Structure 1
Amino acid sequence: MQFGSIIVQGENLLLISGLLISYVLFYYGIRILKIERNIMDLIFNSFINGVLIWKFSYGVLHLDSVLQNPMTILYFNGGYVGIGIAIVFMTVYTWSCIRKQNIPVDSYIRAAVPVYFGYFSTFASVYVMEDPRNYPVILQAIAAVSFFIAASLMKRQKTLLQLLIWFHLVQLEIALYKNHFVYATSISKEALFYVSLIVIFLSVSYWLERQGREEADKDKKKGWRNTTIKITLGVIILSFGITSILANQQETKRIESKAAASAPLNSGKIGINKGQVAPDFELLSIKGDKWKLSDFRGKTVILNFWASWCPPCKAEIPEMQKFYENNRNNNVEILAVNLTNSERSPDAVKDFVKDKGMTFNILLDQQGEISNLYSVMTIPTSYIIDKNGVIRDKHIGPMSYEMMDNFISNIKNSDAN
C-alpha cells in the first residue's frame, strides 16, 4: 500500500473549487449578465483576497502552533473567526473601490448578488459530494442554486437585497436543525454566522432605502416597517415547511440511534461506513501493552491512522494533543494507529512520539493489517466512533482542534436526543 504525503482534502477541494468557479462566474457576469468588466474585476479581487485572509488568518490566531510547526498553516484555516476577518476586509476594500472608481451601487449589487449565490452553490455542492446522505446540506445546496437562478433574472436593487435576506433566513433555519439546536445548550457558530449576515444585509437594505428615497421620513419608516413585517411573517411560514422536513429526519435519526444503543453489541452490522459498528482489532501499544478497540466501549473514540513521515500528520498532532489534554476526562479517547510497516523502524516512531510529547494511546500496525481492514488509502484518516462502537463520522486529512471539538459535540448533542 502506498500513501501520499500531501492529500487533496475537503478544505483544499473547496479552495480549488472556489478558484475555478471564480473564473466561470467572472465570464458569466460579463457575457450573460452584461456587467461591466471593472465591476467583475472588483468582485473577483475581493473574493481572492478574502479567501487568502481566511486561509492564512490561522497563522495569526494560532501563532504558537505555527511557530512550532510552520506546515500547519498549509492545512488549516482561521475558521469562523477567520471568515469574520475576511468579511470585514472585503467590505472595507469593496466600499473604498466603489467610491474611488465611482461605481454605481445598483450596478455592483446587480453583479455581486448572483455571484455570491454562485459561490455558495459551489461550496455547498462540494459538501454534498463528500456526504450525499447529509439532508440539511442537500437542502442548503438546493436553496443556493434556486436563489442563484432567481438573482440572475432580477435587476432591481431592492429585490436582490431582499433575496439575500430571505436566503440567509433559510440557511439559518437549516443550520439550527443541522446542529441539533433544539437540544444544544448554545447556538452554533454557523447559526451565529447567518444571524450576523442577516443583520448586515438588513442594515445595508435600510441604509440604501434611506439614501435612495426622497419621500418624507414618515413614509420611509412606514415602508421599512412594512418590509420588515412581510419578511418576518414569511420566514415564520417558511419555518413550518423546513422544520417539518428536518424534524422528520431528526426523529428518524433519534429512533435509529436509540435502537442501536439498546441492541446487543454483536447484533449491529460491522463495517467501515457511517452507522456501522467499527471492526474490532487488537494491537500492541508503543509501551508494549495490548489494546482492543472494544476495550474503549463506553467512550467516544477518535481512531486516527498516521505515520511520522507524513507532513499533514505532523501538522495534526499538536492539535490532537491539545484536544486530548482538554478532553481526556470527558469520556473521550484517542487511538492513534501508526502505520509501522511504512516507517524506517519502530524506534523512529518512539523517538517521534517522545519528541512531540504525544500522551494519547499510540498503537503499532506492524503488518498493515488494520489499515487494510479500514481501507485507509491516504493519511491521516480518522474515524469518529461513539460509545456504542458505531462509526459516526470519517475524516480524510488533518483535523484541527475546532474540527475535533465539532465532531465530539455533534455526537453528544445527538445522544442527548
Structure 2
Amino acid sequence: MKHLLSAIALLFAFTAIAQSGNFKKIPAVEIKNLNGQTVTSTDVIQNGEAPIVLSFWATWCKPCVTELNAIKEVYEEWQAETGVKLIAISIDDPRNAARVKPFIKGQMWEYDIYIDENSDLRRAMNVNNIPHTFLLNGKGEVLWQHTGYIPGDEDKLLTLIRKVAKDGTL
C-alpha cells in the first residue's frame, strides 16, 4: 500500500511538471491546416536548424492580431537574416474555425497557419492566455515563451531569434 501511494504521488508530480510548461519538445497533437486536413503538430514544426516562432492566437483576440500584424511588417527581413519560420496556431473553436481562412487573407499574413479547434495542442502546451508566443530551435525544442503583447515585444523577440539562429540556444 505504501508503494502504491508513493507511485501515485510520483505520477501526480510528473503530471504537474508536464502541465507547468516545463517540457522540451513540442507534443505530437493533431491540428488542422486551413483546408481542414488533419496534420500532426510535430510534422509541421520543423525548420532544420533555423528558429521557429509558434504563436497561439484567435480571430477575436485584438492583441494577437496586433502582434501578428507587427511581425508581418518585418517578417521577410527576419527570414532573410535568420531563416526563422513563424507558425500561427488559431485556437478558434469549431463554430469560428470557418472564419479563420478569410480572416488571414484579409490580414495578408504569409505565415504557416493551423487551427487547434479542440484546443488539444493548447492544453498540451499549457497555453491559458493569448497571445502566447513560443520560440523553438529548428528541432522543435522550446527555448522561451511569453504571454501577452505590447508594442515593441517583436523587437525583443528578434533579439532572441538572432541568438537562436547563431547559437541554436539562448
The reply to whether TM is greater than 0.5 is yes
* Contact 1:273–1:391 (CA under 8 A) maintained in structure 2: no
- Residues 243-392 of structure 1 aligned to structure 2 (within 5 Å): 272-273=21-22, 276-289=24-37, 290=39, 292-295=41-44, 296-298=46-48, 299-329=50-80, 330-341=82-93, 344-392=95-143
* Contact 1:323–1:401 (CA under 8 A) maintained in structure 2: no
Moved over 4 A (4+): none
Deviation readout 1:237-280 (Å, 9 max, x if unpaired): xxxxxxxxxxxxxxxxxxxxxxxxxxxxxxxxx88326x22223
CA shift in 2, pair 1:364/1:398, >3 Å? same
CA distance in 2 between partners of 1:416 and 1:410 (Å): 7
Determine which structure has greater relative contact order: mean sequence separation of CA pairs < 8 Å that are 6+ residues apart, divided by chain length. 2
Higher strand share: 2
Give the deviation of 1:327 after TM superposition. 2.8
CA distance in 2 between partners of 1:291 and 1:327 (Å): 26
Matched residues, percent identical? 22
Question: What's the RMSD between the two structures over aligned residues?
Answer: 2.6
CA distance in 2 between partners of 1:377 and 1:311 (Å): 16
CA shift in 2, pair 1:407/1:284, >3 Å? same
Larger gyration radius, structure 1 or structure 2: 1
Corresponding residue number in structure 2 for 1:107: none
CA shift in 2, pair 1:324/1:354, >3 Å? same
CA distance in 2 between partners of 1:367 and 1:279 (Å): 15
Give the deviation of 1:297 after TM superposition. 4.5
CA shift in 2, pair 1:287/1:321, >3 Å? farther
TM-score by length of 1: 0.32
List alignment gaps of at least 5 residues for structure 1.
Answer: 1-269
* Contact 1:303–1:334 (CA under 8 A) maintained in structure 2: yes
TM-score by length of 2: 0.73
Higher helix share: 1
List alignment gaps of at least 5 residues for structure 2.
Answer: 1-17
- Work out the number of aligned pairs and report it: 146
